Structure 1
Amino acid sequence: MTTISKTRIDGMPIGLTLALLLACAVNLAVLARWL
């Protein structure tokens, strides 16, 4: 599973990867605030 996600991330454009990471960070921040 880790290898699949790694190859998927490697195949993405760097901008899209950064956008996904930013979205994950925002979701974690919102969850932390609600907790």
Structure 2
Amino acid sequence: NENPDNVGLWFFPIITRCYVFLRDLYFALVTREK
């Protein structure tokens, strides 16, 4: 039996890492513009 909660716990950190990466990249570009 696959546990949906287990899949969620495995999948959520990936989305969080992608979001943080894109956010840091965006702020890096904005800071470089100034």
Unaligned runs of 5+ in 2: 1-9
Of the candidates 27, 30, 33, which is equivalent to residue 29 of structure 1? 27
Relative contact order, higher structure (CA 8 A, sep 6+): 1
Unmatched 5+ residue regions in structure 1? 1-11
Q: Taking every aligned residue pair, what percent have the same amino acid on both sides?
A: 4
Larger radius of gyration: 2
- 1:1-35 pair list within 5 angstroms: 13-35=11-33
State TM-score, norm by structure 2.
Answer: 0.65
